[in-house]
A = this chain, B = another copy of it.
Amino acid sequence: MAEPDVEVTSEMVEDLLRGEALEEAVNLIASIHPADQAELFTRLEQDLRPSFLALLSAEGMAHLLEHLEPEERQEVVEEMPRASLARVLDRIDNDVAADILRELPPSEAARVISTMTTAGDVAPLLEHADESAGGLMTRGFVALHGDMSAQDAINYMRLIRPNVEEAYYLYVMDAANHLQGVVSLRELVVAAPDTPLRDVMESDVISVGPERDQEEVARLVQHYRLRALPVVDEERHLLGIATMDDAMDVVADEATEDMYRMAGLPAEESVYDPVMVSARRRLPWLIVNLGAAFVAAGVVSRFVDTIKDVVALAVFMPIVAGQGGNAGIQTITLVVRQMALGEVTPPDAWRVFRKELAMGVLKGIVMGLIVGVIAWVWWDNAWLGLVVGAAMLLNMLVAGFWGAVIPLGLRRLRLDPAIASGIFLTTFTDVMGFLILLGLATLMIDQLT
A contacts, CB < 8 Å to B:
1-4, 9, 33, 35-36, 39, 42, 154, 157-158, 161-162, 167-168, 184-186, 188-190, 204-208, 220-225, 227, 236, 244-245, 247-249, 251-252, 255-256, 258-260, 262-265, 269-272, 275-276, 278-279, 282-283, 285-287, 289-290, 293-294, 296-297, 300-301, 304, 307-308, 311-319, 321-323, 326-327, 329-330, 333-335, 337-338, 341, 343-344, 347-348, 351-352, 355-356, 358-359, 362-363, 366-367, 370-371, 374, 426, 430, 434
Q: Which residue of B has the minimal Cβ distance to A224? A: B35
Q: Contacts A4-B223, A359-B282; is A307 near B314 (CB within 8 Å)?
A: yes
Closest to A66 in B: B225
CB neighbours (8 Å) of A348 from chain B are 271
Contact with A283, one of B245, B289, B314, B366 (Cβ below 8 angstroms): B366
Contact between A260 and B363, CB atoms less than 8 A apart: no
How far is A359 from B184 in the complex, measured between Cα atoms in Å?
Answer: 52
Q: Are B252 and A225 in contact (CB under 8 A)?
A: no
Copies in the complex: 2
Q: How far is B157's CA from A188's CA once the two chains are assembled, in angstroms?
A: 10
- Choose among B290, B307, B318, B371 the residue that contacts A367 (Cβ–Cβ < 8 A): B290
Closest to A332 in B: B263
| A236: B residues at CB distance < 8 A | 2
**Residue from A207, A282, A314, A334 with most neighbouring chain B CB atoms (10 Å):** A314
Residue of B nearest to A345 (CB): B6
A189 to B276, CA, bound (A): 54
CA distance A117 to B161 in the complex (A): 40
Q: Which residues of B contact A293 (CB under 8 A)?
A: 318-319, 322-323
Per the bound structure, the CA–CA distance linking A283 and B269 in Å amounts to: 33
State in angstroms the CA–CA spacing of A296 and B315 once bound together.
9
Closest CB-CB distance, A70 to chain B, in whole Å? 14
Residues of chain B with a CB closer than 8 A to A304's CB: 311-312, 314-315
Name 27 A/B residue pairs within 8 A (Cβ), A-sorted: A2-B205, A3-B208, A9-B347, A39-B223, A42-B343, A157-B190, A158-B189, A221-B248, A227-B244, A260-B334, A263-B329, A263-B330, A265-B330, A271-B351, A272-B343, A275-B358, A282-B359, A285-B326, A287-B367, A289-B323, A290-B370, A293-B318, A294-B374, A297-B319, A300-B318, A301-B315, A308-B308
